[in-house]
Amino acid sequence: MQSLSSYERQNQFNRLTQEEWDVLVIGGGITGSGIALDAASRGMKTAVVEMQDYAAGTSSRSTKLVHGGLRYLKQFEVKMVAEVGKEREIVYENGPHVTTPEWMMLPF
């Protein structure tokens, strides 16, 4: 594991460009970090690059993943709600301790 210090930036860049990687993940948010963890746990040589700070703003951007995006129904974005539901199912399958499915009734 390399240091995340900005003082090491040039060394990190050199390593990224000189070595061969099985997986290069672009984005160090919750999704990118999860992908990197999965790839590394499968024995793949994995690198992650991030434009800003790792995990910057991930909690505010990923909440729709867990709560299901029902607020988007108000704008009639049914496709978005369906997509978020599929993503939430994947999260539940991969980490059932992360979220708990709840039954809800939607009046139409």
- Tokens for 67, please give them: 């709560």
Give the pLDDT of residue 108: 64
* pLDDT band, residue 38 (cuts 50/70/90): very high
Which residue intervals of 1-108 are DSSP H helices?
9-18, 30-41, 58-67, 78-94
Residues 6+ apart with CB under 8 A from 38: none
Task: For residue range 61-90, list pLDDT tens digits in order.
Answer: 555 456 666 777 778 888 887 887 787 788
pTM exceeding the 0.85 threshold for the entire prediction: no
What is the spatial distance between Cα 47 and Cα 21, in angstroms, rounded to a whole number?
A: 7
